[in-house]
């Protein structure tokens, strides 16, 4: 027989019962199983209904990509009238005659005489920023020796560099040919490799805790004659939007300009100056291509709040005096800044120090072939000297690389001392102060050839120095490919290693290298050890690993706090 | 975060960022509503995207004399219905473990807690077996604490009819739970 309380329980709103009634019900359910079971089931039902399942937090971006962002810009007036008519619907129902009149008026307005006005409104509103970003970020700018946000708060870049495999890949057929000619065999990409920034990477970067990514590009991606240029731009914008939505700035850094770059220089630096690939400071065509690329990107990115700025060029080399020397170096940097500023007045421009310069006749330089100092006789030998050069543009941050002492950081030879490191930073800080109080950004990192303890010690030391002088800094780098042909010790300072080429190098179940050549290279590059330790988990392969870099990450995260 | 009416007004002035914030504010609860109604994870995101596109395209029609939540749930319900008509959805079921932590604690009746855990699945099955309108009203009642008037508005029925549907759903729940006990499933 049904309990007489049951109907009462079903009808009443249990959450809003006065205390005395709740007490009565509690007393009742302690003795009535049906009512107790019903109330239990109801409470569970409520919890079940209210519990939101896990979903993609970035779902809203899918929606934003699916809608027409200009819908309410094109015809604001039309929508205002339609909106008013919607609200008057109940009144229309009262009089069909009135409705007919209103419809006629609406058609006249929306389709006729106000079109010109509507178009004018649309044009005015199209000038406003519309990047599709959903972010709290504001345009960064310089203020004295600081970078500040749109609200004037001091902002230190605490970033990580995404190299994005900008140097490219070995391309069978083409690469062998280049190599046989003594040229760099690695071909710069025309499309960014899919593996360099996956959904998992975005999640991982979000969790790192950095406030900026230095997003590396190569000229060829945005060259005028690249048929994929528009697609590449779309992808870049999408990546900027994703980082923006996480409140992470993106600094777009040109790592490989047309002509001489830091990668092909590994081959070019040994050559006579007359045979060497020219740089944008020496060759007019390369220079024009370089400027054109920045004008294109500045036009397309000028309204993005999530863009921290533009890094003009990586590790440039100043030409010898016969080709214009430091003068042409400064002039062309000034010109590219001026061209960007004509289009984009918002974003910071990162101007690098020259990383080396070509020797003039009579100057001595270190000859890497003979391993000795020699006097230049017109061959434009490389002098590994660095220097910042003032440009006339506003909103400029000067950029320097900090991998010091070189032999220790890159090869694990010798040690470092904090005083000497600080002196090198202080020198640049004073220079920037004297040229008009400009801020500095550094890119820094340390190779895995050093022990974890030593790497942490070095990082903590340089972090203290960067903090002391208020210098923005980006750790080089977030992720790199690992594989049998990459030295996982000496050539690797990335936080994460992704085994991109595994399917062409190994087989699984049971594990084997596909051939002797791969096996030998893996051994030579210490990759066979890394593979066993970090990538092979039982019968499974883990494609990405932080290797032994967890303490490195924690040290960075302490700095980023 | 800006209030809803400002976000709506900004969106109508062409500010996409404001619309994105509106989507962020509603995506979780609407995903939940659609999923509880369809039991298909695969289809929920597609339906939800349709909902927000409709909301955006018709935002100029929204009358701010009414609550925005009522309007958006009404669009969601209509989109679910048309999706159900158009194609066969792909129910994926739900993982009971996802909800175990949500079971209320009856400090004075621990034995009830154990029993309820065992029969959790059956309770969800009871909800899913309700007639479509009863289930809709019941879910709306507890998903966001909608009043009967609001439920009526979302479903296009009167306030009294909405109350009746929730009452009927609760009666069925009580009856089926009692029935289980008599069959020996409970205690």
Three-state secondary-structure class, residue A507: strand
Q: Which residue has the tokens 């490799």?
A: A193
pLDDT given at position A79: 64
Same domain for A43 and A80?
Answer: no
Kindly state whether residue B187 falls inside one of the protein's structural domains: no
Kindly state whether residue A420 falls inside one of the protein's structural domains: no
Which one of B19, B36, B99 has the shortest CB-CB distance to A47?
A: B99
Angle between helices A550-560 and A199-208 (to 10 degrees): 60
pLDDT given at position A83: 65
- DSSP-derived letter for residue A490 is T
CA A309 from chain centre, in angstroms, equals 11
Asked whether residue B40 carries a pLDDT value surpassing 90, the answer given is no
Same domain for B32 and B109?
Answer: no
- DSSP-derived letter for residue A113 is I
Domain limit, last residue, from A89, A105, A126: A126
Interface of A with B in 45-84 (CB under 8 A): 45-53, 55-56, 59-64, 66-67, 69-73, 76, 79-80, 82-83
**What are A356's strand-pairing partners?**
A317
CB A355 within 8 A of CB A371: no
pLDDT given at position A6: 86
Kindly state whether residue A115 falls inside one of the protein's structural domains: yes
pLDDT given at position B156: 94
Kindly state whether residue A13 falls inside one of the protein's structural domains: yes
Q: What is the DSSP string of chain B?
A: ---HHHHHHHHHTT-HHHHHHHHHHHHHHHHHHHHHHH--HHHHHHHHHHHHHHHHHTGGG--TTS-HHHHHHHHHHHHHHHHHHHS--------THHHHTTSPP-TT-HHHHHHHHHTHHHHHHHHHHS-HHHHHHHHHHHHS---HHHHHHHHTS-HHHHHHHHHHHHHHHHHHHHHHHHTTS--
H/E segment holding residue A254: strand A249-256
Kindly state whether residue A192 falls inside one of the protein's structural domains: no
- For the stretch B69-80, pLDDT in tens is 999 999 999 999
Which one of B23, B31, B178 has the shortest CB-CB distance to A34?
A: B178
| Rounded (5°) CA angle A516-A519-A522 | 150
pLDDT given at position B178: 83
Kindly state whether residue A424 falls inside one of the protein's structural domains: no
Domain limit, last residue, from B32, B58, B86: B86
pLDDT given at position A525: 93
Same domain for B111 and B139?
Answer: yes
Same domain for A78 and A46?
Answer: no
Tell me if B31 and A82 make a contact (CB, 8 A cut-off). Answer: no
CATH number of domain containing B155 = 1.10.10.10
Kindly state whether residue B136 falls inside one of the protein's structural domains: yes
Kindly state whether residue A449 falls inside one of the protein's structural domains: no
Domain limit, last residue, from A85, A110, A126: A126
Which residue range forms the structural domain that includes residue A117?
70-126
Kindly state whether residue A88 falls inside one of the protein's structural domains: yes
Pairing of strands A472-475, A158-162: parallel
Same domain for B77 and B151?
Answer: no
Residues A409, A26: Cα–Cα separation, whole Å: 71
CB A209 within 8 A of CB A101: no
Kindly state whether residue B92 falls inside one of the protein's structural domains: no
- Hey, what are A385's tokens? 């000297």
Per-residue pLDDT band at A21 (split at 50, 70, 90): confident
Asked whether residue A115 carries a pLDDT value surpassing 60, the answer given is no
Across A81-85, A289-293, B19-23, least confident range: A81-85
pLDDT given at position A98: 40
Domain limit, last residue, from B57, B86, B115: B86
Which one of B20, B103, B139 has the shortest CB-CB distance to A60?
A: B20
- For the stretch B104-115, pLDDT in tens is 555 566 666 666
Pairing of strands A506-507, A307-311: unpaired
Interface of A with B in 104-143 (CB under 8 A): 125, 128, 130, 132-135
The ipTM, to two decimals, is 0.88
Asked whether residue A51 carries a pLDDT value surpassing 60, the answer given is yes
Domain limit, last residue, from B60, B86, B112: B86
- For the stretch A254-285, pLDDT in tens is 999 999 999 999 999 999 999 999 999 999 99
Same domain for A85 and A118?
Answer: yes
Across A89-93, A130-134, A308-312, A472-476, least confident range: A89-93
For residue A557, cis peptide bond before it (omega within 30 degrees of 0): no
Instruction: Please state, in angstroms and as integers, the Cα–Cα distance from residue A138 to each residue in A23, A307, A308, A344, B87, following that order.
Output: 55, 9, 9, 15, 45
What value does the mean pLDDT take over residues B16-27?
90
CB A421 within 8 A of CB A434: no
Pairing of strands A212-218, A158-162: parallel
pLDDT given at position A72: 84
Instruction: Please state, in angstroms and as integers, the Cα–Cα distance from residue A427 to each residue in A400, A433, A472, following that order.
Output: 12, 10, 16
Q: What residues have CB less than 8 Å from B145, skipping those under 6 apart?
A: none
Same domain for B103 and B168?
Answer: yes
Same domain for B123 and B144?
Answer: yes
- A432 or A13, which is more confident? A432
Which residue range forms the structural domain that includes residue B12?
4-86
- For the stretch A319-373, pLDDT in tens is 999 999 999 999 999 999 999 999 999 999 999 999 999 999 999 999 988 888 9
pLDDT given at position A85: 58
With beta carbons under 8 A apart, name residues in chain B contacting A73: 14
Distance from CA of B12 to the nearest CA of A (A): 6
Three-state secondary-structure class, residue A118: helix
CATH number of domain containing B49 = 1.10.1740.10
Asked whether residue A180 carries a pLDDT value surpassing 80, the answer given is yes
With beta carbons under 8 A apart, name residues in chain A contacting B174: 6, 9-10, 34, 38, 41
Select, from the ranges A4-13, B19-28, B103-112, the one with the highest average predicted confidence (pLDDT).
B19-28
Burial of A374 per CB tally in 10 Å (0-12, 13-18, 19+): middle
Q: Which residue has the tokens 């939007």?
A: A241
- B114 or A490, which is more confident? A490
Asked whether residue A105 carries a pLDDT value surpassing 70, the answer given is no
- For the stretch A375-424, pLDDT in tens is 999 999 999 999 999 999 999 999 999 999 999 999 999 999 999 999 99
**What are A499's strand-pairing partners?**
A482
User: How does A127-151 read in b/e, with b if 16+ C-beta sit within 10 Å?
Assistant: eeebbbbbbebebbbbeebbbbbee
Residues A480, A494: Cα–Cα separation, whole Å: 6
Tell me if B31 and A53 make a contact (CB, 8 A cut-off). Answer: yes
Q: What residues have CB less than 8 Å from B182, skipping those under 6 apart?
A: none
- Hey, what are A1's tokens? 């027989």
Kindly state whether residue A94 falls inside one of the protein's structural domains: yes
* Model confidence, pTM: 0.63
Same domain for A44 and A83?
Answer: no
Q: For chain A, give the percent of residues with pLDDT over 90.
A: 68
For residue A510, cis peptide bond before it (omega within 30 degrees of 0): yes
Per-residue pLDDT band at A122 (split at 50, 70, 90): very low
Count residue pairs from A and B with Cβ separation < 8 A. 166
Across A472-476, A488-492, B29-33, least confident range: A488-492
Domain count, chain A: 2
What value does the mean pLDDT take over residues A80-107?
49
Residues A281, A329: Cα–Cα separation, whole Å: 6
Which one of A43, A47, A86 has the shortest CB-CB distance to B61?
A: A86
Residues A38, A107: Cα–Cα separation, whole Å: 58
Residues B27, B52: Cα–Cα separation, whole Å: 9
Same domain for B118 and B156?
Answer: yes
Per-residue pLDDT band at B167 (split at 50, 70, 90): very high
Kindly state whether residue B91 falls inside one of the protein's structural domains: no
Same domain for B26 and B103?
Answer: no
Per-residue pLDDT band at A470 (split at 50, 70, 90): very high
With beta carbons under 8 A apart, name residues in chain A contacting B12: 72, 76, 79, 83
What value does the mean pLDDT take over residues B11-37?
92
Residues A270, A277: Cα–Cα separation, whole Å: 11
With beta carbons under 8 A apart, name residues in chain A contacting B41: 53
Domain count, chain B: 2
Residue A175 exposure: Cα atoms within 13 Å on the Cβ side: 11
- For the stretch A342-354, pLDDT in tens is 999 999 999 999 9
Residues A97, A89: Cα–Cα separation, whole Å: 13
CB A259 within 8 A of CB A149: no
Kindly state whether residue B22 falls inside one of the protein's structural domains: yes
- A543 or A115, which is more confident? A543
């Amino acid at each position: 027989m049904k309990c007489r309380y049951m109907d009462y329980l079903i009808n009443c709103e249990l959450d809003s019962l006065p205390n005395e009634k709740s007490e009565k019900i509690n007393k009742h359910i302690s003795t009535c199983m049906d009512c107790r079971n019903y109330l239990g089931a109801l409470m569970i039902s409520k919890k079940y209904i209210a519990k939101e399942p896990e979903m993609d937090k970035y779902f809203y971006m899918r929606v934003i990509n699916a809608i027409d962002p200009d819908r309410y810009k094109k015809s604001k007036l039309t929508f205002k009238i339609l909106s008013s008519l919607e609200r008057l619907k109940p009144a229309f129902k009262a009089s069909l005659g009135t409705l007919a009149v209103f419809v006629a008026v609406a058609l006249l307005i929306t389709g006729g005489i106000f079109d010109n006005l509507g178009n004018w409104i649309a044009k005015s509103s199209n000038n406003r920023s519309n990047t599709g970003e959903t972010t709290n970020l504001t345009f960064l700018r310089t203020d004295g020796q600081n970078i500040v946000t749109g609200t004037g708060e001091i902002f230190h870049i605490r970033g990580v560099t995404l190299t994005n495999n900008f140097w490219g890949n070995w391309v069978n057929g083409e690469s062998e040919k280049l190599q046989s000619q003594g040229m760099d065999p690695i071909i710069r990409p025309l499309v960014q490799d899919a593996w360099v920034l996956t959904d998992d990477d975005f999640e991982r970067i979000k969790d790192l805790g950095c406030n900026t990514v230095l997003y590396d590009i190569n000229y060829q991606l945005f060259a005028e004659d690249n048929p994929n240029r528009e697609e590449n731009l779309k992808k870049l914008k999408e990546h900027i939007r994703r980082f923006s939505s996480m409140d992470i700035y993106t600094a777009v850094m040109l790592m490989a300009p047309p002509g001489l770059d830091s990668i092909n220089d590994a081959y070019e630096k040994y050559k006579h100056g007359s045979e060497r690939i020219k740089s944008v400071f020496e060759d007019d065509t390369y220079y024009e291509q370089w400027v054109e690329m920045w004008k294109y990107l500045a036009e397309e990115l000028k309204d993005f709040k999530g863009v921290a700025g533009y890094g003009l060029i990586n590790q440039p080399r100043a030409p010898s005096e016969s080709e214009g020397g430091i003068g042409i170096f400064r002039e062309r940097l000034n010109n590219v800044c001026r061209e960007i500023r004509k289009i984009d007045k918002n974003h910071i421009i990162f101007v690098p120090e020259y990383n080396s310069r070509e020797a003039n006749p009579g100057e001595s330089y270190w000859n890497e072939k003979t391993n000795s100092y020699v006097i230049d006789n017109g061959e434009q030998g490389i002098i590994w000297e660095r220097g910042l050069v003032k440009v006339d543009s506003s909103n400029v941050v000067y950029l320097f690389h900090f991998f010091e002492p070189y032999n220790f950081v890159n090869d694990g030879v010798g040690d470092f001392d904090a005083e000497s490191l600080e002196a090198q930073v202080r020198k640049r800080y004073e220079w920037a102060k004297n040229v008009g109080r400009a801020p500095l950004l550094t890119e820094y990192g340390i190779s895995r050839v050093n022990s974890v303890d030593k790497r942490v010690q070095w990082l903590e030391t340089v972090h203290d120095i960067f903090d002391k002088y208020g210098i923005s800094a980006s750790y080089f780098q977030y992720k790199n490919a690992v594989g049998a042909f990459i030295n996982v010790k000496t050539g690797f300072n990335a936080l994460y290693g992704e085994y991109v080429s595994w399917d062409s190098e190994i087989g699984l179940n049971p594990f084997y290298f596909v051939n002797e050549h791969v096996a030998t290279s893996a051994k030579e590059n210490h990759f066979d050890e890394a593979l066993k330790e970090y990538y092979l988990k039982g019968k499974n392969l883990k494609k990405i690993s932080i290797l032994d870099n967890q303490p490195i990450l924690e040290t960075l995260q302490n700095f980023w706090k | 975060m800006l209030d809803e009416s400002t976000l709506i007004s900004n969106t109508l002035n062409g500010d996409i960022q404001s619309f994105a914030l509106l989507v962020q504010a509603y995506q979780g609860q609407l995903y939940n509503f659609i999923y509880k109604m369809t039991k298909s994870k695969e289809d929920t995101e597609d339906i939800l995207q349709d909902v927000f596109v409709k909301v955006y395209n018709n935002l100029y029609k929204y009358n701010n004399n009414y609550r925005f939540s009522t309007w958006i749930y009404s669009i969601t319900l209509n989109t679910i219905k048309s999706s159900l008509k158009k194609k066969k959805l792909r129910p994926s079921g739900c993982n009971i473990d996802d909800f175990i932590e949500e079971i209320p604690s009856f400090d004075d009746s621990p034995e009830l807690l154990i029993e309820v855990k065992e029969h959790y699945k059956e309770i969800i099955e009871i909800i899913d077996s309700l007639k479509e309108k009863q289930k809709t009203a019941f879910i709306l009642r507890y998903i966001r604490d909608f009043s009967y008037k609001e439920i009526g508005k979302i479903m296009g029925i009167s306030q009294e009819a909405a109350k009746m549907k929730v009452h009927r759903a609760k009666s069925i729940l009580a009856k089926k739970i009692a029935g289980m006990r008599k069959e020996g499933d409970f205690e």
